[in-house]
Amino acid sequence: MQTIQQFLYKNCWLLMVMTGLSACTLAGLDVQEDWDFTPHVADPHTNKTVWAFMQDRNQPGQDSVFNLMLQGIAYAGLDSTMYTQTGKTFILLHRDAILRLDNRNRVTTDCYFGRYVVPDRDSSGNPIPGKTRAAQSWTEYPKEQVKNFLLYLVVEGERSFGSIGVENDTVKTLLPPGTDTLNPQGIMTLKVTNDRDSKLKINDFLNTVRSTTVRTAGLLNTNGPAHVVDRVVEFGVKP
């Protein structure tokens, strides 16, 4: 005759299964349930021009994603109608691409104000020899510098996921030829990473001084595609 210990040993697997089923029931879970999953893809269409889209994301105290970019456009004296024209691709600057702070409240070097430092000044406003600091405003730069940077962020032709592949696509920007000694042709490269994330990369080539990963890609505006970056965009080749 089998003992109680032998019975428990032979049937312990059954007790474990029953305990597991009870635990699932107590946790509010069904052991097996048919579930029809319907995937949802966010609509990339903004149903407005690039200019209107930026204006909508410039609400002080609510949504100020593009406030610093719009300040730069105004300071540089660029015609806002450029952002309503067709046949172009627009790289938009999230505020972090212009001014970003680390956890110690220091300006990072991967934003525009931290990448392109300005002379530090004394209490009288005179430059201190050999001392630089991060900028605090667009007004600390020459207007022409800001204008050329913003023109570089406008690409000739429409480029989005349907026309950008995994190999670099070299595109022409509105930066006038010969303006930048490091980029005399005013070009930019675009490509999509060949992985499950399919990230859009700007100026990601061998020996690049900076590769920028797009934060939000493929926005389809009524006048053309736009891609939002939260880091500075720069073209250059390491020596």
Residues 213 and 193: their CA atoms lie apart, in Å, by 10
> Is 5 within the bounds of a domain?
no
Q: Average pLDDT for residues 202-215, to the nearest whole number? A: 98
Looking at the predicted structure, is the pLDDT value of residue 5 above 60?
no
Q: What percentage of the chain has pLDDT greater than the value 70?
A: 83
> Is 20 within the bounds of a domain?
no
115 contacts: CB under 8 Å, gap ≥ 6: 109, 232, 234
Residues 147/77, Cβ–Cβ less than 8 Å: yes
Name the token pair of 44.
């990339």
> Is 29 within the bounds of a domain?
no
Looking at the predicted structure, is the pLDDT value of residue 77 above 90?
yes
> Is 209 within the bounds of a domain?
yes
Q: Average pLDDT for residues 60-70, to the nearest whole number? A: 88
For 54, the domain range is: 50-229
Burial of 36 (0-12, 13-18, 19+ CB in 10 A): exposed
Looking at the predicted structure, is the pLDDT value of residue 38 above 50?
no
Q: Average pLDDT for residues 166-181, to the nearest whole number? A: 98
Residues 234/91, Cβ–Cβ less than 8 Å: no
- From the centroid of its chain, how far is CA 34? 38
Dump pLDDT digits (tens) for 108-152.
999 999 999 999 999 998 999 999 999 999 999 999 999 999 999
CATH number at residue 77: 2.30.180.10
Residues 187/235, Cβ–Cβ less than 8 Å: yes
> Is 30 within the bounds of a domain?
no
Name the token pair of 193.
């990473």
Residues 153 and 92: their CA atoms lie apart, in Å, by 7
pLDDT mean across residues, the chain: 88
Name the DSSP letter for residue 166. S
Looking at the predicted structure, is the pLDDT value of residue 41 above 90?
no
User: How does residue 58 score in pLDDT terms, banded at 50, 70 and 90?
Assistant: confident
Residues 118 and 134: their CA atoms lie apart, in Å, by 6
Q: Specify the length of the chain in residues.
A: 239
Looking at the predicted structure, is the pLDDT value of residue 103 above 90?
yes
Residues 230 and 94: their CA atoms lie apart, in Å, by 5
- Closest alpha carbon to 88 in 225, 233, 202: 225
Residues 171 and 154: their CA atoms lie apart, in Å, by 10
> Is 60 within the bounds of a domain?
yes
Residues 179 and 189: their CA atoms lie apart, in Å, by 18
> Is 183 within the bounds of a domain?
yes
> Is 73 within the bounds of a domain?
yes
Residues 195 and 212: their CA atoms lie apart, in Å, by 17
Query: What's the total number of domains in the chain?
Result: 1
- Tell me the whole-structure pTM to 2 decimals: 0.81
